[in-house]
């Protein structure tokens, strides 16, 4: 069970962005895309139904083999349609496997322990590989791991379905698997999200989540020893999911950040989730294979609906979808645990545990030690805020969550494209710090390490997606302000930064990404609010730069409202289209400067590491 859960999470982090990039945008997830996802899950249910004349063991083995083969094919793809369809087929096969396992006479204890162990293994690999998935790595090592896990899944599924027995996992437990993976992928087992919390050093929060995920395996195995009824872990799970997702904080003028203590809520949610599954695994009962199979299939449909509902929502509604996931896990756990009479009997039953737990825990903690050593060996603190003088090389880049035009995640190429422009200040748009629909990566930390530049992060659409500024200069102040129209769900924000230069002067920077309004274009009112922010930053007669994907063309009404106070730093090479990056037609990425600055050497690099091209310019004081 653990290997299957590990592969589902591994494939999910590729399947979701592949589908979104093919039919949508990373910055705009829609429920229509969710329907496409449900269609692939339904395909797995139909395939499992077509095999109903065969025994459940055959269905499980066919599904396991399908997952193994599709995942191996996925490792060999290089983006585009092959990547999308290989990951989609892997998800479909995973549904067949899960339905086959549910219909088989498998005991609840190993199922619950397998889910917790699979989640822990996924977190271990994700942290040790710096939140970059196996699919995006080349070479012999990733291939070997993918093949070994695939072969292991087939062998483990065959062994599990061969055993049989009187005690069979309850339908509630099988239903809870899908929503549990949502809670784990988005909250309790999301190391990149933890790294986005303020007031923590890089990777420390991820280690907290990693350790909690490993301890959760033991909690799952002894759930009835930790709590008197299954209601307790369910209530704690809901409270901690809310605590990890609803509150935000302000730090140094930047709003919408995750508070430092949200990391502990994530860690606690991992333990509560495991305890809920553990109770469901204890409450074994006699049920029909069809009921268990339907419950497992319904849970996987819920997985897709919850993920896309969360991705399409804005504001507190996003946390609402996660709480709904926690409620569904709790419902499955309570139904699986049975009646109060059953709970009393379970508490009085001698606790021998499951044989899989000691072996699983030993392997988990050995892997934990290895992952901690691997990350510690590769990490170098970024603290080089050096002195600053003119000329300054400024680069702006909409990085599309790190995905190139073929839909492959390659932060190294993005970093090289930025480095080729020799920046001293970088403005990034569409930065992602742990959104599951974008793969759960901490792109900002990866780029900061690649460029050896400290960063300032400003949440935009939500707490893990927004804008960032990277610079080696001393920072005087930072601030974020909303610039989108009232009621606009895009929640566009502007990040203002003031740098101190060696001359004793200061430089102001406004970094933002603007979204089209109801008319299909950026509203003039949005541009005016952006101009007002820049005007306030102009205090003390400091020079100001405005940069980012402004989503407006030169000559448009919104552009003209900014041009009255700013000069186009790219005017010497206009027209300079930057979008789409392969055949650019639109001039939407801009660097605007006040009249006391002079621009030189403007350039849009012909790189396709995103759907936009990076733009750079050298700035110096006029006169």
User: What pLDDT score does 128 carry?
Assistant: 87
- Determine which of 162-166, 513-517, 556-560 has the lowest per-residue pLDDT on average: 162-166
Task: Measure the CA–CA gap between 319 and 247, rounded to whole angstroms.
Answer: 10
On whether the CB atoms of residues 45 and 302 are closer than 8 A, the answer is no
The mean pLDDT of 220-237, rounded to a whole number, is 86
* Interstrand relation of 249-251 and 254-257 (parallel, antiparallel or unpaired): antiparallel
* pLDDT of 589 higher than 90: yes
Higher pLDDT, 576 or 348: 576
Q: Give, in order, the Cα–Cα distances in Å from 143 to each of 55, 73, 120.
A: 32, 10, 21
Backbone angles phi, psi at 249, to 5 degrees: -140, 170
Which domains does the chain possess?
2-377 (1.20.1250), 392-621 (3.60.10.10)
* pLDDT of 352 higher than 50: no
pLDDT digit string, tens, across residues 595-616: 999 999 999 999 999 999 999 9
Higher pLDDT, 51 or 140: 140
pLDDT digit string, tens, across residues 6-60: 999 999 999 999 999 887 665 566 777 888 899 999 998 998 888 777 788 899 9
Q: Which two tokens stand for residue 221?
A: 């195995």
Say which residue the tokens 């530049």 belong to: 453
pLDDT digit string, tens, across residues 327-339: 999 999 888 876 4
Higher pLDDT, 375 or 43: 43
How far is C-alpha 348 from the geometric centre of its chain's CA atoms?
Answer: 42
Give the pLDDT band of residue 341 (cuts 50, 70, 90).
very low
Task: Measure the CA–CA gap between 19 and 143, rounded to whole angstroms.
Answer: 23
User: What pLDDT score does 349 carry?
Assistant: 54
Q: Where are the alpha helices (DSSP H) in 452-556?
A: 524-537
Task: Measure the CA–CA gap between 195 and 379, rounded to whole angstroms.
Answer: 14
Query: From the CB of residue 387, how many other CB atoms can be counted at a distance below 10 Å?
Result: 10
User: What pLDDT score does 380 carry?
Assistant: 62
Task: Measure the CA–CA gap between 52 and 301, rounded to whole angstroms.
Answer: 20
| Greatest C-alpha distance within the chain | 87
pLDDT digit string, tens, across residues 53-107: 778 889 999 999 999 999 999 999 999 999 999 999 999 999 999 999 999 988 8
User: What pLDDT score does 387 carry?
Assistant: 67
pLDDT digit string, tens, across residues 119-131: 999 999 999 888 9
pLDDT digit string, tens, across residues 396-447: 999 999 999 999 999 999 999 999 999 999 999 999 999 999 999 999 999 9
3-state secondary structure at position 158: helix
On whether the CB atoms of residues 258 and 248 are closer than 8 A, the answer is yes
Give the pLDDT band of residue 355 (cuts 50, 70, 90).
very low
* pLDDT of 458 higher than 70: yes
Q: First-to-last CA distance in the chain?
A: 70
* pLDDT of 354 higher than 60: no
Task: Measure the CA–CA gap between 27 and 472, rounded to whole angstroms.
Answer: 28
* pLDDT of 184 higher than 60: yes
User: What pLDDT score does 552 carry?
Assistant: 94
The mean pLDDT of 244-270, rounded to a whole number, is 94
Q: Which of 270, 305, 222, 13 is nearest to 137 (CA)?
A: 13
* pLDDT of 262 higher than 90: yes
Give the pLDDT band of residue 488 (cuts 50, 70, 90).
low
Task: Measure the CA–CA gap between 348 and 370, rounded to whole angstroms.
Answer: 38
Task: Measure the CA–CA gap between 406 and 133, rounded to whole angstroms.
Answer: 16
């Amino acid at each position: 069970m653990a290997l299957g859960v590990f592969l589902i999470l591994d494939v999910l982090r590729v399947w979701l962005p592949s589908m979104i990039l093919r039919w949508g945008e990373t910055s705009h997830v829609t429920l229509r895309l969710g329907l496409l996802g449900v269609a692939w899950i339904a395909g797995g249910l139909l395939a499992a139904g077509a095999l109903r004349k065969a025994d459940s063991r055959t269905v499980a083995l066919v599904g396991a083999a399908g997952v193994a083969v599709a995942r191996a094919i996925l490792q060999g793809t290089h983006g585009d349609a092959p990547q999308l369809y290989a990951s989609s087929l892997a998800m479909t096969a995973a549904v067949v496997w899960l339905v086959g396992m549910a219909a088989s006479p498998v005991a609840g204890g190993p199922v619950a322990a397998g889910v917790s162990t699979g989640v822990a293994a996924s977190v271990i690999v994700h942290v040790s590989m710096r939140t970059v998935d196996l699919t995006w790595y080349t070479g012999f090592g990733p291939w070997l791991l993918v093949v070994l896990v695939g072969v292991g899944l087939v062998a483990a599924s065959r062994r599990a379905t061969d055993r049989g027995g009187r005690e069979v996992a309850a339908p509630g437990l099988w239903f809870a698997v899908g929503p549990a993976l949502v809670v784990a992928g988005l909250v309790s087992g999301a190391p990149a999200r933890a790294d986005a919390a303020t007031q923590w050093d890089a990777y420390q929060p991820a280690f907290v989540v990693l350790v909690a995920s490993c301890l959760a395996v033991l909690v799952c195995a002894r759930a009835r020893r930790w709590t008197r009824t299954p209601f307790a872990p369910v209530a704690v799970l809901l409270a901690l999911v809310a605590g990890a997702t609803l509150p935000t904080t302000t730090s140094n003028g930047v709003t919408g950040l995750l508070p430092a203590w949200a990391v502990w809520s994530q860690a606690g949610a991992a333990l509560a989730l495991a305890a809920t599954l553990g109770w469901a695994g204890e409450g074994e009962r006699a049920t029909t294979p069809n009921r268990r199979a339907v419950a497992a299939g319904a849970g996987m449909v819920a997985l897709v609906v919850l993920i896309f509902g969360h991705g399409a929502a804005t504001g507190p509604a996003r946390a609402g979808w996660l709480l709904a996931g926690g409620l569904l896990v709790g419902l499955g756990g309570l139904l699986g645990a049975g009646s109060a009479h059953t709970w009393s009997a379970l508490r009085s039953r001698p606790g021998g545990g499951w044989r899989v737990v000691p072996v699983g825990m030993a392997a988990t903690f050995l892997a934990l030690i290895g992952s901690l050593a691997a990350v510690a060996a590769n990490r170098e603190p970024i603290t080089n805020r050096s002195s600053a003088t003119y000329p300054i090389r400024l680069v702006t880049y909409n990085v599309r969550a790190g995905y190139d035009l073929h839909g492959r995640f390659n932060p190294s190429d993005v970093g090289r494209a930025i480095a080729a422009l020799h920046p001293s200040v970088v403005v990034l748009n569409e930065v992602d710090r742990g959104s599951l629909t974008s793969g759960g990566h901490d792109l900002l930390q990866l780029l900061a390490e690649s460029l050896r530049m400290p960063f300032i992060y400003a949440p935009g659409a939500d707490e893990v997606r927004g804008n960032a500024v990277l610079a080696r200069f001393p920072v005087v102040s930072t601030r974020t302000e909303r610039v989108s129209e009232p009621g606009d769900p895009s929640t566009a924000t502007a990040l203002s930064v003031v740098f101190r230069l060696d001359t004793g002067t200061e430089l102001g920077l406004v970094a933002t990404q603007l979204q089209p309004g109801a008319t299909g274009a950026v509203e003039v009112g949005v541009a005016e609010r952006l101009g007002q922010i820049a005007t306030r930053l102009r205090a003390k007669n400091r020079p100001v730069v405005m940069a980012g994907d402004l989503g407006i063309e030169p000559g448009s009404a919104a552009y003209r409202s900014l041009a009255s106070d700013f000069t186009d730093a790219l005017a010497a090479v206009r027209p300079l289209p930057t979008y789409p990056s392969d055949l650019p037609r639109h001039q939407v990425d801009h660097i605007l400067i006040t009249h006391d600055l002079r621009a030189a050497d403007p350039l849009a690099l012909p790189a396709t590491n995103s759907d936009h091209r990076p733009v750079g310019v050298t700035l110096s004081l006029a006169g």
